[in-house]
């Protein structure tokens, strides 16, 4: 069963959503639903709230409840996250759920930029332009080297273009997700922070590092005629 609370529809180019997971002991499901209704109503009263979805729990030794809160912009979502009313509700909720975590989504790339933490992180991750530059920094050399190796080894040489492209994408996306991007995000961790937490100096420094790295790789690949 899915419950939804609707706020007035808002059209926005940059929406932001937050996925919550609450671990609730068996026998406290009703108490959690009543508490979550109050949490949803607090979000509805904030500017920019689009809707709140509460999904049926995943049953096991305990109940795992998942809810999704949608706002029309990251700023409005952050305002609600830092509101006094929400903080008070979370403190009340700790008597019901054992633990909780949340993950924000605004660009679709957040999985590569998430950080594990035992405390709440109120930034929604690095801004979209930083995420895109970081992905290009990791993807560009990967594609260049992979193409060179596959061509030199005549790997999939006799395959159809559609088949070889599918396998190429599967290989490159896997390497990018589990090897390249963790290294990129670790190396650029000083720069891949929410804009509100980054100084102008760090923003400029990080951007210059990425730009220099891209130009250096471009020059190297041209020199090697890859």
Q: What tokens appear for 92 in the block?
A: 């009340």
72, 134: one domain: no
In a domain, 121, yes or no: no
- How much is the mean pLDDT over the chain? 84
Tell me the per-residue pLDDT of 96-150, one tens digit each, with 9 for 90 and over.
Answer: 999 888 776 655 555 555 554 444 544 456 787 898 999 999 999 999 999 999 9
In a domain, 132, yes or no: yes
Q: Say whether both 8 and 101 belong to one domain.
A: yes
Residues 177 and 84 placed together within one structural domain of the fold: no
Q: What range does the domain containing 59 cover?
A: 3-106
Which residue among 72, 106, 140 closes a domain? 106
Nearest CA to 122 among 90, 84, 74?
Answer: 74
Q: What gap in Å lies between CA 184 and CA 134, rounded to an integer?
A: 7
| Residues 212 and 139 reside in one and the same domain | yes
What's the pTM? 0.57
Element (H, E) at 69: strand 63-71
Residue 225 has pLDDT above 80, yes or no: yes
Count of the separate structural domains present in the chain:
2
Name the more confident of 184 and 10.
Answer: 184
Each residue of 196-207: pLDDT tens digit?
567 889 999 999
| 176 closest CA partner among 127, 109, 130 | 109
Among 93-107, 146-160, 204-218, name the one with the lowest average pLDDT: 93-107
Q: Are residues 7 and 100 in the same domain?
A: yes
The Cα 215–Cα 105 span in angstroms is 30
């Amino acid at each position: 069963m899915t419950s939804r609370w609707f706020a007035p529809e808002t059209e926005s180019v940059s929406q932001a959503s937050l996925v919550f997971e609450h671990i609730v002991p068996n026998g406290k499901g009703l108490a959690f639903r009543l508490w979550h209704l109050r949490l949803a109503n607090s979000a509805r009263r904030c500017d920019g709230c689009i809707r709140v979805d509460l999904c049926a729990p995943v049953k096991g030794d305990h109940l795992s409840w998942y809810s999704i809160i949608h706002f029309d912009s990251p700023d409005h979502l952050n305002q609600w996250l830092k509101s006094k009313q929400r903080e008070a509700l979370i403190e009340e909720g700790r008597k019901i759920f054992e633990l909780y975590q949340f993950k924000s989504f605004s660009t679709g790339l957040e999985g590569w930029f998430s950080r594990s933490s035992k405390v709440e992180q109120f930034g929604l991750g690095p801004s979209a332009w930083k995420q895109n530059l970081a992905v290009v920094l990791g993807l560009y050399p990967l594609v260049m080297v992979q193409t060179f190796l596959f061509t030199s080894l005549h790997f999939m040489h006799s395959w159809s273009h559609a088949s070889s492209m599918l396998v190429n994408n599967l290989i490159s996306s896997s390497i990018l997700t589990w090897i390249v991007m963790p290294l990129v995000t670790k190396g650029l961790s000083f720069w891949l922070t929410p804009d509100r937490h980054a100084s102008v100096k760090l923003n400029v420094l990080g951007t210059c590092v990425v730009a220099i790295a891209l130009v250096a790789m471009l020059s190297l690949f041209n020199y090697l005629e890859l």
